[in-house]
Amino acid sequence: MTLAVSETVRALGNRSEEMIRALAEITETEGQITRLFLSPEHKRAAALVSDWMEQAGLTVSHDAIGTVCGILPANRSSSNKTLLIGSHIDTVINAGAYDGPFGVVAGILAVSEIQKRGIELPFALEVLAFGDEEGVRFPSTLLSSSAVAGVAKPEDLEATDADGIRLCDALKDFGGDPAATAKAARDPDSVLGYLEVHIEQGPVLEAERLSVGIVTSIAGANRYRVTLSGMAGHAGTVPMHLRSDALVGAAELICAINQIAHEANDHGVVATVGELSVEPGAVNVIPAEVVLSLDLRAATDEPRHEAARAIKQAADKIAAKHGLSVGFEQYHEVSTCLCADRFQNTAEKAIKSLGLRPLRLMSGAGHDGQAMSQLTDIGMMFVRCQGGISHNPLEYVEPHDMGLAVEALVRWIETIAEEERAKS
Ligand code: HGY
Ligand code: MN
Ligand code: MN
């Protein structure tokens, strides 16, 4: 890498870190990062991202579901197509600073660099900052990107959060327009593709001592709400063999889920119970009802379906043993999603032009690309994160790696432009 390039990479990395830190300040809870969909914090983050997009020379708009869109028209338009670049600005609870935001920051900085360098593109560029990728506030996920992809369903807007607030009402308060979400959908013929730069959220790049990598596919996933219902009773008077204790059943089910995933680990099956509620939740009352969340994923679809079947069979056995009823409400399913060869290959060229080894790897984490793949071809590039830690305040990305990822994104876009010009 020449001195000039490494100077540019350093500056891009430092600017990325400044922008990441500015976004990290916007949180509902002092001392941690929590920024949920359609919250006041989401609104403030969207306003900050809009400012950055305007400073980068983009024409900014907000779609009906709150996505911030910044367009750079083609300067020599031989096609009426737009290359979309995006990621999300919502977070999990007590999150890291980079999961999502870095993809938006990288897109803005890359588009700014392309203009600074006078790079001519035969297509327009548009940076998108999605507000509902994590799906933590409402039982939905990938809703903003699904709206852009034209696959969001009206019933998705009826979901309610833990306070009983309907998504459509929260969207109105946010300044969005539930009745117009269909208008957020893009015409597939107007889109060249969708690129996303994201932290790896896993240990591979660090183990391979690489700053960036090329994503081959994104693991499919199911999300469920599982309800076990038993019988409330007096903790002092009901003998153990006469109880229908929903929490004991839930505890056995959680261990069974864990065991099933361990046994199918060769297929990349992972299962997580992240939420649990107990009713009535009193020290001297036998638990009557437990609701737990289940997040189930695998490298390919069949092992995930197989694990789901095994978990439901185990649940039925445990429910029968404890005199409980058990119900699985699936509220999300997305199949394994492939990144287009043309975007993997152009990403490889871009990474090689930086003198870096181009490693290809799958993503166990979900991304907006899963929704966007229903609109257009997608490509993803990963950047190394320390210890592979994510969904954790310890999440950290070296500024140098961020600078390299932004420079790689600029070259990725240039390589795609060369390919497009060669076609015409
Ligand atoms: O859950 C995921 O994989 C993503 O972080 N939303
Ligand atoms: Mn993410
Ligand atoms: Mn995430």
Residues at CB less than 6 angstroms from ligand 1: 133-134, 365-366
**Euclidean distance between CA atoms 340 and 195, whole angstroms:** 10
Q: How many residues comprise the chain?
A: 424
Using the atom order of ligand 1, give the atom closest to the CA of residue 133.
Answer: 6
For domain 3-217+336-423, say whether CATH 3.40.630.10 is its number: yes
Type and span of the H or E element at 406: helix 399-423
Nearest to 368, CA basis, from 236, 197, 114 = 197
Quote the CA–CA distance of 230 and 279 in Å, as a whole number: 10
Confidence (pLDDT) at 424 = 79
Q: Is 54 helix (H, G, I), strand (E, B) or coil?
A: helix
The pLDDT value recorded for residue 76 is: 61
Q: Are 230 and 249 in contact (CB under 8 A)?
A: yes
Three-state DSSP class for 333?
Answer: strand
State residue 3's pLDDT score.
Answer: 77
Rounded to the nearest whole angstrom, what is the distance from the C-alpha of residue 193 to the centroid of ligand 1?
22
Helix, strand, coil % over all residues of the chain, rounded to 5 = 40, 20, 35
Task: Give me the residue spans of the domains in the chain.
Answer: 3-217+336-423, 220-334
304: helix, coil or strand? helix
Cβ within 8 Å of residue 281, ≥6 positions away: 287
Atom of ligand 1 nearest to the CA of 134: 6
Beta strands 82-88 and 191-199: pairing type? parallel
- Per DSSP, what are the bridge partners of residue 225? 293, 329
What pLDDT is stored for residue 351 in this prediction? Answer: 98
Instruction: Tell me what pLDDT residue 10 has.
Output: 96
Element at 295 (helix H, strand E)? strand 289-298
The CB density around residue 279, as the number of other CB atoms within 10 Å, is 16
Distance CA 341, CA 357 (A): 18
Phi-psi region for residue 54, left (φ > 0), alpha (ψ -120 to 50) or beta? alpha
3-class state of residue 334 by DSSP? strand
Tell me how far the alpha carbon of residue 401 lies from the centroid of ligand 3, in angstroms: 19
One of 3.40.630.30, 3.90.15.10, 3.30.70.250, 3.30.70.360 is the CATH number of 220-334, namely 3.30.70.360
Q: Give bridge partners of residue 380 from the DSSP assignment.
A: 196
Instruction: Tell me the C-alpha to C-alpha distance, in Å, between residue 87 and each of 50, 216, 229.
Output: 14, 17, 39
**Structural tokens at position 258:** 């864990």
Q: What is the CA radius of gyration of the chain?
A: 23
Distance 126 CA to ligand 3 centre (A): 22
Closest by CA position to 115, among listed 71, 68, 49, 60: 71
Distance 68 CA to ligand 2 centre (A): 16
Going by C-alpha positions, the residue among 132, 129, 334, 317 that lies closest to residue 218 is 334
> For residue 369, which of 150, 216, 140, 145 has the smallest C-alpha distance?
145
For the chain (length 424 residues), average pLDDT per consecutive 10?
Answer: 86 98 98 98 98 97 98 76 98 98 98 96 96 95 97 95 97 97 96 98 97 97 97 98 98 98 93 98 98 96 97 98 98 95 98 97 96 98 98 98 98 96 87
Closest approach atom of ligand 1 to CA 364: 3
Q: Which residues surround ligand 3, an ion (CB under 5 A)?
A: 99
How far is 113 from 121, CA to CA, in rounded Å? 13
Ligand 1 atom nearest to CA at 201: 5
Q: Is the pTM of this model over 0.85?
A: yes
C-alpha angle 51-168-93 in degrees, rounded to nearest 5: 65
- Distance from C-alpha of 251 to C-alpha of 276, rounded to nearest angstrom: 10
Ligand showing the shortest atom-to-Cα distance for residue 293 = 1
- Gap between the Cα atoms of 361 and 116, Å rounded: 32
